[in-house]
Amino acid sequence: MATAGDIMETGSPSSGAVPAVSPRPRFTWRYDHKVDTQGRVPMPAKWRPEDPSTLSLMAVMIRHAADTEFVMVLPSEQFDRFSQPICAGDFTEPLKLAERHDYVDRIIELDLDSAGRICLPEEMRIAAGLTKDVLFVGCIDRFELWNPKAYQSARGAETVLKKVQNPRNT
C-alpha cells in the first residue's frame, strides 16, 4: 500500500503543487489464506502498509442474515463511524447499555506483526469457522474474514435477497 510520501501531485514549483493527502486504505478483491498454528493469518500483500504500525484495525464479529458468523475488520476511521451510534446517548439508559454490552465481547483491536500477519483470538476464529482456511473479502473501505464455505452460502442468500427486494434488476 502506498504511503503519503509515495503519492505526490506533479508539477513545477510555480504550479503550486502540494503533496496529496495520505490515501485511505482500499481493500478490493478476494484472497485465500491459511491460519497458522498460533492463530495468525497473513494479510494480503496488496493491502499491507509498508509500516505495519501505521494501520490501526478493529475486528467485529458479525452475524450474517444467512445465520453464519464472520469477522468485519475496519480501519480506525471506519470503526469510529460504526461505533458512533453505539456510544451515543445516555450511558445509563437500559437499552443503550444492553446494545453496548452486545458488542463489547465481539470487538477487538488487531495489530499487524512485522511479517504482516493478523493474530485473531481463538474464540473469534472458532465462532467464525476460521480454523484452517480464511477468505479475505475486500469491501473497499473495510474487509471481511470468512470461512470460504460460509461465504459461498452467504452469497447465495444475498442473491435470493436481491431477487426478492428488487426483482426487476436481477
Question: How far, in whole angstroms, is CA 72 from its chain's centroid?
Answer: 4
**pLDDT score recorded for residue 85:** 85
**pLDDT score recorded for residue 157:** 92
Residue stretches of the chain with pLDDT short of 50: 1-15, 18-21
> Could you report the per-residue pLDDT of 139-148, keeping only the tens digit for each?
999 999 999 9
**pLDDT score recorded for residue 1:** 38
Sign of CA dihedral 129, 113, 103, 162: negative
Domains of the chain: 25-169 (3.40.1550.20)
Q: Which residues of 132-160 are buried (b: 16+ CB within 10 A; e: fewer)?
A: eebbbbbeeebbbbbbbebbebbeeeeee
> Could you report the per-residue pLDDT of 79-91, keeping only the tens digit for each?
999 888 888 878 7
Whole-prediction pTM value?
0.81
Q: Are 161 and 65 in contact (CB under 8 A)?
A: yes
CA dihedral angle for residue 145, residue 147, residue 152, residue 154, rounded to 10 degrees:
-70
